[in-house]
Structure 1
Amino acid sequence: MLDQAETAAGQAPAQAHGQVPDVPAEGQARARHKRDREATRQRLLDAARDLFGEHGYDGVTVRMIAAAADANVALVHRYFGSKAALFATVLEGEYVIQRVIAGEDDPDPLPLRLARHFVRQAHRGPASPVPRMLDRSVGNPEVRDILQDQMERLVIGPLIDQLDGPDARTRATLATTIIMGGGPIRRVVGLDPLRATDPDELTERVAAMFDAALTPYR
């Protein structure tokens, strides 16, 4: 009884002045939970990106990804649904070409925008593990389906939307062949000759290629 009385007495002044215990507000707790959730999701993406690049799609398990991200296996399924969906999410994050095609903050013609992107990619170097992901994974039917969907939805479709005149799909597909062709060449032969060329001259030549690909057939 004495202890309870002393505790109550010690709390009385604070309560009398309208002070409340230092307990996190509900909104703060939700915000912290959201930050933790986003941080965990990003760790899973980063781990998957590295592991898929090193081992390919078939060589990676959900358990490996969770362990590398210091996360529970169940969180992979909660945030992404499946290993295939996680692989697709990693790939989709690499499609900066979407912004190039849309012309965000760049009023120049589409062939020139595409050429600048091509030259930037050529000079970027092999920093991303995504090319290795594709090399080591493309034989898997699930991966082929993912690539087909993303290529149509994120590259060919947006290019078609930018084009007027007949044969838009053919022209968009031809331009996509130029865009994507740099990847295999980089991995098999190397791009040192392109990197040694003056960037402005290289951009001009590649822009002419894109212009020829996208111009309506006569």
Structure 2
Amino acid sequence: MPRKESPTAAPRRRGRPRASGKTDTRRRILDAAREQFATYGYAATTIRAIAAAAGVDPALVHHFYGAKADLFTASMQLPEDFVRSVSHLLLDTSQSAVGERLTRFFLNLWENSDTRRQLRMTVSSGLTDGQATTALREFVTAEILNPVVVASDRQDAALRLPLAVSHLIGLAMGRYILEIEPLAHADVDTLVAWVAPTIEHYLTGESPTR
């Protein structure tokens, strides 16, 4: 099936649209963003298309949510500084144990009840809805993996990062979606102790292809 393209935005309205208040406007923008990302994916969705769907000026979208990456994280109910936090964890060479820091950060996202709800919905829908998976994959690739790969001087960096991400997603599936015991009720520190060394090896260990 041909991939959908984000529709061209409708002509810009003069002035700001009437709304019952800032909360209502923010909600309409966020609802429109979720629909656009789910329908067209992350790469094809534009701020102008989201603004048109919400019936607002594109400048208002930037005013409330900033760049497209910030709007996507808001639609996923992720922390506002999600991209910067993950990039910092992966690129900060002044700190050791990147595997432990990344694993704990990832698990803490799922331990937060609000974030977990949206993550569960996204992962679960991804099993039956390819567009939901596409949006998340394109976001992670464009905003996290590609910049880190470009900045990294590690051999096989382009493969190391997806391996680490895939391992963590598998952990989330077993613990939070399938709820496999005793994994589902193990404490976070125990999981970090088991998983972090593997993530560390993916990111910094010697390449087996050398």
What's the TM-score bracket when you normalise by the shorter of the two chains?
Answer: 0.5 to 0.7
Is residue 39 from structure 1 mapped to residue 23 from structure 2 by the alignment?
A: yes
Name the residue aligned to 2:97: 109
Aligned-partner Cα distance in 1 for 2:129–2:59: 24
Equivalence map 1:38-187=2 (5 Å): 39-44=23-28, 47=31, 57=38, 73-75=54-56, 88=72, 90-91=74-75, 94=78, 96=82, 98-103=84-89, 107-125=95-113, 127-136=116-125, 142-161=131-150, 163-186=152-175
Per-residue deviation, residues 143-196 of structure 1 (Å, max 9, x unmatched): 454333212123322442564331111111101112322343345411663353
Aligned-partner Cα distance in 2 for 1:178–1:154: 19
Aligned-partner Cα distance in 1 for 2:145–2:98: 13
Q: TM-score, normalised by structure 1?
A: 0.53
Q: Match of 1:102, as an amino acid?
A: H
Is residue 212 from structure 1 mapped to residue 201 from structure 2 by the alignment?
A: yes
Aligned length: 164
* Unaligned runs of at least 5 residues, structure 2: 1-16, 40-52, 62-67
Aligned-partner Cα distance in 2 for 1:124–1:89: 15
Give the number of the structure whose residues are more often helix, by fraction. 1
Aligned-partner Cα distance in 2 for 1:189–1:117: 21
* Unaligned runs of at least 5 residues, structure 1: 1-32, 59-71
Q: Match of 1:43, as an amino acid?
A: R
Q: What's the % identity of the aligned pairs?
A: 17
Deviation of 1:40 after TM superposition, in Å, equals 3.8
SS in 1 for 2:191: helix
Contact 2:156 2:207 in 1 (8 A): yes
Aligned-partner Cα distance in 1 for 2:180–2:148: 26
Aligned-partner Cα distance in 2 for 1:44–1:191: 37
Which stretches of structure 1, 4 residues or more, deviate above 6 A after TM superposition?
Answer: none
Contact 2:76 2:118 in 1 (8 A): no
Aligned-partner Cα distance in 1 for 2:176–2:187: 22
SS in 2 for 1:129: helix
SS in 2 for 1:164: coil
Structure number with bigger Rg: 1
Q: TM-score, normalised by structure 2?
A: 0.55
SS in 1 for 2:206: coil
Cα RMSD after superposing both structures = 4.4
Deviation of 1:42 after TM superposition, in Å, equals 2.6
Q: Cα–Cα, structure 1 residues 152 and 37, in superposed 2: closer, same or farther, change >3 Å?
A: farther
Aligned-partner Cα distance in 2 for 1:79–1:57: 21
